[in-house]
Amino acid sequence: MPSYTFTVNGESVTVDAPADLAMLWVLRDKLGVKGPKYGCGINVCKACTSHLDGEAFNPCVTPVSDCAGREVTTIEGLADGDQLHPVQEAWLDRDVPQCGYCQPGQIMAAVALLKRTSTPTDAEIDAIENVCRCGTYFRIREAIKQAAAAMR
Ligand code: FES
Ligand code: FES
């Protein structure tokens, strides 16, 4: 079985895995990184959203072979030690989550958006495709705007 080396939340890891094994299962089952959630497995719900080289990606449809030599960041790697990311702070302040299942992916998508723009419009926020069955979209929008202001 081939082996692949990449970085997960700042630590270099090497895993033995079939080339086509989805990165979501490498993270969750081989490495015990459970922040990225499984919802659909077909790049629709976005519950698994994480970052690959700093940009949002969906590990449920990304083979481990595509991640070799690259930098994977999950919700577990977002805070700087005890210092939460401003998006996480805003999420807490706005009391965004309900059941919480979609929230790691929502936060990672929000962080990726704020890397692209420091002044996100409602349309840009609404273009985030992450599904929330609890309907927390209004609070997500408010939290993203609050985080954007804090980061400017
Ligand atoms: S699990 Fe639904 S997009 Fe990845
Ligand atoms: S908080 Fe429950 S699915 Fe989003």
pLDDT digits (tens, 9 = 90+) for 98-147: 999 999 999 999 999 999 999 999 999 999 999 999 999 999 999 999 99
Give the strand pairing for 3-8 and 71-73.
parallel
Separation of alpha carbons 141 and 50, rounded Å? 19
Can you give the CATH number for the domain in which 147 is found? 1.10.150.120
- CA 44 / ligand 1 centre spacing (Å): 6
| Alpha carbon distance, N-terminus to C-terminus of the chain | 47
Domain that holds residue 119: 86-151
Query: How many distinct structural domains can be found in the chain?
Result: 2
43 CA: nearest ligand 1 atom? 3
- Which among 46, 92, 129, 132 is the best mutation to test ligand 2's pocket, defined by most ligand atoms within 8 Å of the CB? 132
Mapped onto helix, strand or coil, the DSSP state of residue 59 is helix
**Ligand 1 residue neighbourhood (C-beta within 6 Å):** 38-41, 43-48, 58, 60
Using an 8 Å Cβ cutoff, are 107 and 87 in contact? yes
Can you give the CATH number for the domain in which 47 is found? 3.10.20.30
Same domain, 58 and 20: yes
Separation of alpha carbons 138 and 127, rounded Å? 13
Q: What pTM value is reported for the model?
A: 0.98
Same domain, 71 and 105: no
Same domain, 19 and 64: yes
